[in-house]
Structure 1
Amino acid sequence: MSDQKKTICIIGSGNWGSAVSKLAGESALAQPDKFEERVNMYMYEENFEGQKLTEVVNQKHENVKYLPGVKLPENVVAVPDVVEASKNADVLIFVMPHQFVRETCKRMKEHVKDTALAVSLIKGFDLHPETKGKIAMISNLIEDILGIDCCVLMGANVAPEVAAEQFCETTIGCKTKEQGYLLKSIFEKPYLRVSLCMDIDTVEMCGALINVIAIGVGIVDGMGQGHNTKAAVLRLGLMEMVKFGELFIQDCQKITFFESCGMADLVATCYGGRNRQLGEAVVKSDKPIKQLEKDILRGQSFQGPLVAKEIHEILVERNIVERFPLFEAIYKICNREMEPTEFINCLRCHPAHKFSRKARPSMFFY
């Protein structure tokens, strides 16, 4: 990356995208020698109380629909055209539902600087006929379409708490120290501490799988179970995360699971994330997932059910479904193929409870 001033663009404008725009806008103002002042935020246009949402955001400097009550810096500008928003950017911050990334990148492809750096804050996998039976990272999808490097940022970062400047940590997975330090200068604040990690794929995988486990915790809440049961879901979920990494991530480093992207994000998402809300709602309501999204999220998407489906399809393709009973049970409950009451039986019979004296290739028994 050159020493010229960098232009920042955020691709996405939900509650997390808006919180990130606050971080980026403040950093651009605080470091005028490093960043251009204006920060574009691509926002899918929609109406809000009879006005275009982009116009409301630019007038009030607040995302009144997805992050109400939080003032955004005045140098953050909502732009409804993704090409217009991103064409001059040196740093592209992707924070949008993962199912829309492919088409969005295709629209941007001919207009992005070939020297730009992307960073994905997106939790999910890319399921495509070409990647059947494989883990396809969203960061790799961005790289393949745009022809630029893509780092990742994952951590225990519940958006309203970050926006309220409550202390937290996060993890940036990067390819070089230079990339990591550039991104750190955008995201790090006195209340947001950033760690750099070269284990990009594991960092990104953690972010995707955690949303599925959070649904499991919500199922437990919906059934009226207590903290002990939730702790079991977190423990067994973490074990399946590590097992998944061992099978699908080349050179997966177990220490990465102890970064903010791993254990910390697991705790934060399972106790404060919206996918936990979904798990509880699935137990208490017979409505389909799409209707629950409309009722709970006001237009945003639950990523957990989509990732659960993607995991299921990968495990079926590899014929190893039985090795991940927690993930599989959550998928079936979301798909209304299993009664939520069966979830406790899944925990009770989990293979992690079995003891083996045989030599084992992994850190766990099953």
Structure 2
Amino acid sequence: MSKVGVLGTGTWGMALARVLSDSGKHDVTCWSALPQEIDYFVATKRHPNLPGVPIPDEIKFTKDISEAVVGQDVVLFAVPSVYVRSTANKAAPFLEDGQVVADCAKGIEEGTMMFLTEVIEDEVGKVCPGKKLRLVALSGPSHAEEVAVDIPTSIVSASTDMEAAKTVQDVFMAGCLRVYTNSDIKGVEMCGALKNIIALAVGASRGMGYGDNTTAALITRGMAEISALGVAIGCDQQTFNGLAGIGDLIVTATSEHSRNNRCGIMIGKGIPVKKAIEKVGMVVEGINCLPAAMELAERYNVDLPIISAVDKVVNGGETPAAMATYLMGRDKAHEFVNN
């Protein structure tokens, strides 16, 4: 029986912990930076954002991060992107050289432009120079609300270390989860970060009353933007056509479970951005990722009209209607850049 430590007890972390525990093949230990969360889970065996889904008695909860790290076959980072570095800092003294660490948060760190597995590696290296981890990105079209109730789901385990990717694949293969491996970790992380911004755009279009035609255009052209930036930084084109790419974008841009989509809908209806984020009640990763996306676009000289339009609405005070007019009025172009 393998041992898995889960750092973070949000909806995704808890959904994965439940699947692993229910498989009967893993001992699962969950840690949260918020002691009151641990007390709540132990007392109620429920997660407030996963109503009707009981927490298995077999899952162990701890307020001591070392207990969720030391001796674990896989350590899973399941915290929001803005807390990945601080969590890595706390975990670093207890992580073991050569330990498999999987990150399932999606984003790019503002300022450093690092993907989140790079953030973990960087922070652990600062705290414990010379310590080497086997890093994996776990990503794909996977709403926690569906995984928590055993809806069939396919995701990707990505790493330049294929044995580490296969280890995570083996751990997470369960009745409702099918896991594929991918060696393009940078492409998988790029998709996971930027698809949230396109989901904001699709949501805004829905909030403005636009229909399926607009949704299809934004998803298709949005993926073209993500792919163009990804290829510019050395990612594999195939990744953008796979589960972590178009698959994750479709589910995030269209599902009622998507907080980015819901936030975009409210923005499209004229609700101020800050108020929309408050109403969602959870982290809206697409908002957090915008500064990094814009900086990368400038650094690699890649045109990202849809992502730029979202940034102008969120951070520049423009209206969704003005940005829709701008996007539809851009110069004529061939659909594919190389033609």
- Do the two structures share a fold, i.e. TM-score over 0.5? yes
1:293 aligns with 2:277: yes
Q: CA deviation at 1:336?
A: 4.7
Count how many residue pairs are aligned between Structure 1 and Structure 2: 330
1:11 aligns with 2:2: no
SS of 1:335 mapped into structure 2? helix
- Of 308, 312, 315, 1:335 maps to 315
- Of 141, 147, 160, 1:156 maps to 141
Contact 1:40–1:79 (CA under 8 A) maintained in structure 2: yes
Aligned position for 2:216: 231
Aligned position for 1:60: 44
Q: CA deviation at 1:76?
A: 1.3
Aligned position for 1:204: 189
- Of 301, 310, 319, 1:320 maps to 301
Q: CA deviation at 1:213?
A: 0.4
Aligned position for 2:32: 43
Aligned position for 1:171: 156
User: C-alpha deviations, 1:113-167, integer Å up to 9, x for none?
Assistant: 2231101111101223xx3xxx411111112333312100111101111111112
1:98 aligns with 2:81: yes
Aligned position for 1:140: 118
Q: CA deviation at 1:341?
A: 0.2
Matches for 1:86-125 after TM superposition, within 5 Å: 86-125=69-108
Aligned position for 2:333: 354
SS of 1:243 mapped into structure 2? helix
Q: CA deviation at 1:331?
A: 1.0
Bigger CA drift: 174-183 or 202-211?
174-183
SS of 2:309 mapped into structure 1? helix
The runs of 5 or more residues in structure 2 that have no matched partner are: 125-131
* Aligned CA distance change for structure 1 residues 193 and 346 (closer, same or farther; 3 Å): farther
SS of 2:92 mapped into structure 1? helix
- Alignment partners' CA distance in 2, 1:302 and 1:201: 22
Q: CA deviation at 1:285?
A: 4.0
Q: CA deviation at 1:350?
A: 4.8
Q: CA deviation at 1:90?
A: 2.9
Q: Which amino acid aligns with 2:178?
A: R
Q: CA deviation at 1:24?
A: 2.2
Q: CA deviation at 1:88?
A: 3.4
Matches for 1:178-193 after TM superposition, within 5 Å: 178-193=163-178
TM-score with structure 1 setting the length: 0.84
User: C-alpha deviations, 1:3-26, integer Å up to 9, x for none?
Assistant: xx6421111111111111112223
Matches for 1:245-256 after TM superposition, within 5 Å: 245-248=230-233, 250=234, 252-256=235-239
Aligned position for 2:52: 69
- Alignment partners' CA distance in 1, 2:337 and 2:172: 35
1:25 aligns with 2:5: no
- Alignment partners' CA distance in 2, 1:349 and 1:167: 41
- Of 234, 246, 266, 1:281 maps to 266
Aligned position for 1:359: none
Aligned position for 1:364: 337
- Alignment partners' CA distance in 2, 1:176 and 1:319: 27
SS of 1:141 mapped into structure 2? helix
Q: Which amino acid aligns with 1:207?
A: G
Q: CA deviation at 1:199?
A: 0.9
Q: Which amino acid aligns with 2:327?
A: L
User: C-alpha deviations, 1:211-233, integer Å up to 9, x for none?
Assistant: 00000000101100000011110
Contact 2:68–2:75 (CA under 8 A) maintained in structure 1: no
- Alignment partners' CA distance in 1, 2:71 and 2:49: 26
Q: CA deviation at 1:365?
A: 4.4
User: C-alpha deviations, 1:286-330, integer Å up to 9, x for none?
Assistant: 4342x4333222xx31100111121123334x2837x11111111
Q: CA deviation at 1:45?
A: 2.0
SS of 2:33 mapped into structure 1? coil
